[in-house]
Amino acid sequence: MIDYDGMSFNDLISSRIMQALSTHDPQFAELPHDQVGNRVTRNCFMAAVAKINGMPFFPKLAEFCDATLHANCDPTALTRGFFTPVSISGDKLIVAVANPWSPLPDEYLAPRFPDLEIVKVVTLAGEISRAIEAVASNAGPSRSELEAIDVEDLDEGIRDFDVTTDYDEPMAQLVATIMADAVKTRASDVHFKVEKEVFYYTFRVDGDLQPKVEIPMKLKDRLDAFLLNLMKLPTEIRNTAPGISGRFTISYFHRPIDIRYERHRTYRGYHVTMRLLDKGHINVTLGKGTLAFDEETLFELYKVMKIPAGIIVMSGPTGSGKSTTLNAILRELNRPEVNILTLENPVEDEVAGITHCDLKSAKEFKPMISSFMRSDPDIILMGEVRDIESAELAIEAAVTGHKVLTTIHTPRASQIIERFEQLGIERWKIAQTLKAACAQRLIKVLCPYCKEPTEGVGEKDRRVFCLDESWASTPVFTASQNGCAECRNTGYNGRTAILEIIPITPKVSDQLSKGEISPYELEVRIQEEGVLPNLRRSGLRLFREGKTDLAAISKVIDMTYSDD
C-alpha cells in the first residue's frame, strides 16, 4: 500500500502506480512502497497517476480556479476528498482531483451541478488545498463555509482546537478566526501582547512582524484563560509563574497543526507567543522549494551525507530553518537498512521508517539518549545542543561510530567549535568528532509580480556592503515599496535557504586539535579558496539572479565586512 501526500492507495492500485513509475524510471522498479514518499517527486508521482487514468496532469492550477464554483461546496468535503471544481467550459465542469480512483468527486459534485458533465484532470494534492484555501481566505472563515463542531480525541487527551468551524462562545470564535488567519497567511508565530494602553496581536510572516491588530483591552484576561484552558493548564498559575510553556493542536480544514505556546508575565499583563509548526507549505525535499540550493551547495551537502560517522551540526539563529534542512537530510538517508532515531522537542516532521521521540522535559534528555544508544541506532538526530550534557552525549555517540545530526545556536559555521568549547568540551574532542559545520539562513524572495529593476548598486550601498565596482553596472532588482496583491503588499513572496558548509577533514581536524589554526582562520582560508558554499557568496548570487535584494540579504547576514 502506498501512502502519498495524505492519500492511501490499495495494493492493486499501488502496483499499477509502481508499474507506471518504473516505465518512467527503471530504478523505481525495486522501490518498496514505504519509500515512494521519500524517493519519488510529487510531479513524477502524480504524472504516473494521471497516465494510468488517461487524464491530463496539471501541476499548477490553483490560480485558475473559479472561486464562485466553491459557493455551494463545503471546503472540508473538498479537502477530505482531494478534489476541487476548477471552471465551467460549455456544458462541462472541469474538476481537479489528486486521487482519480476516488468516487467522492462525482458523488459530491454531480447533484450540485446537475446539468454539467464532469471532466476530471489530475493535479497535486497541495494545489487542491491551495485552491480551497485561496477561496476560503477571501472572506475569512464565514458561517456558510464552516462546518459543525467536530473535535477529535488525540492520544495525549488534548483535543484538536478546530479553527475552521463556528463557535457560540465568542472567545473561541475570536481565537479560531485569528489562528485560521495565521495559517492562511503562513505565519510562523502569533504574538499576543498587553501593553500600557493597548492589547494586540501580530503575526510573524517570512521573518517579519506584521502590523499590529488591536483587541479590546477588556478581553485580555478571558483570552488568556481560554488559551490556558485549551491546554488544560490551571489558570491560577498565570499570576505566579513567570513563564508558562505548553502545546496544543489546531485543526485547519482537518489538517492538524501543532502549536507551541509560551507565555511570560509582563509589567502590564502578559506576552503570549504561539509558534505554528505548519510544515504544509515548506517543501522538505532537498533541492526543491525552500531548499532549492544551487548545485555547488547540493553537491557539498551530498558529500556531508556520505560521512559514515561523526557529528554534523547546523547552526543559525532561531527561525533560520535549521531543523527543516536536517529533516530533509534525514529523509534522504532514510533506508530500510538503517535505524534512525530522533530526539526532538517537539517532533516537527514525522517520516515513515524513522523512530521519532519527543522530549517532554529537559530532564528526560540524558536517560532518553542513554536508552537510544542501547537501541542499536545508525543515525541519531538530536534537536539541539544546548548544554554540556547534550554536547557530551553527541560526542560520545559520534565516538562510538554513530552519525549524529544536530543544531546549535551560533551565527557562523566556524563558531560551532567555539560554542562547544564554551559549553565545556575540550577542543581536540570536538575537532575529532565534528565532521561538518554548517550555517543556514532563510532569505526573503522578491515577489516576481512587482519587483523593480535597477540599473546597478549605488555607491553608498556598495561601500556599506563591501561590493566591488562591477556591481555599479550590474542590473539587479529591488522590492517594490508598496508591493502588490500577490505579495500582500510586502514586496516579497516566501523565502529560500542558503547554506555555508565547512567540512572538517582529517587534516583540518588535526590542525584544530593541535591549535595550529583557529576556527576563524579556517573560515577565512575556506573563503579565500572560494570553492565551498558560503552565506555571503550565496546571498549575492541570489541578488545577481534577481531573486532577492540587498535589504533582504543584509537582514539575515552581516554584509558589512568582507574577507575577500
Binding residues for Zn ion, rule: CB under 5 A, are 447, 449-450, 483-484, 486-487
Closest distance of CB 550 from Zn ion, Å: 18
Q: Residue 482: CA atoms inside 13 Å, Cβ hemisphere, count? A: 0
Residue type present at position 138? N
**Which of 184, 255 has the CB closer to Zn ion?**
184
To Zn ion, the closest distance from the beta carbon of 491 in angstroms equals: 6
Q: How far is it, in rounded angstroms, from Cα 372 to Cα 390?
A: 13
Cβ neighbourhood burial of 479 (10 Å; 0-12, 13-18, 19+): buried
**Shortest approach of Zn ion to residue 138 CB, angstroms?**
18
> Considering beta carbons, is residue 451 or 536 the nearer one to Zn ion?
451
Of 130 and 451, nearer to Zn ion (C-beta) is: 451
- Cβ-in-10-Å burial (0-12, 13-18, 19+) of 242 comes to exposed
Q: What is d(CA 361, CA 538) in angstroms, rounded to the nearest whole number?
A: 38
Q: Residue 360 half-sphere exposure, CB side, CA atoms within 13 Å?
A: 4
**497 contacts: CB under 8 Å, gap ≥ 6:** 290, 291, 293, 321, 324, 325, 440, 441, 442, 443
Residue located via cell numbers 485569528:
178
- Estimate to the nearest angstrom the gap between the alpha carbon of 381 and the chain centroid: 17
445 vs 487 by CB, closer to Zn ion: 487
Report in angstroms how near the CB of residue 564 gets to Zn ion at its nearest: 33
Closest listed residue to residue 514, CA positions, set 418, 424, 425, 428: 428
Residue nearest to Zn ion (CB): 447
Helical spans, DSSP H, in 434-518: 459-464, 506-514
Cβ proximity to Zn ion: between 354 and 542 the closer is 542
Pick between residue 468 and residue 486 the one whose CB is nearest to Zn ion: 486
Tell me how far, at minimum, the Cβ of 487 lies from Zn ion, in Å: 3
CB of 377 to Zn ion, least distance (A): 46
Nearer to Zn ion, 423 or 484 (CB): 484
Class of residue 396 by CB neighbours under 10 A (exposed 0-12, middle 13-18, buried 19+)? middle
Q: How far is the CB of 494 from Zn ion (least distance, A)?
A: 11
- The smaller minimum CB distance to Zn ion, of residues 85 and 483, is found at 483
Residue 481 CB, shortest distance to Zn ion, in Å, is: 11
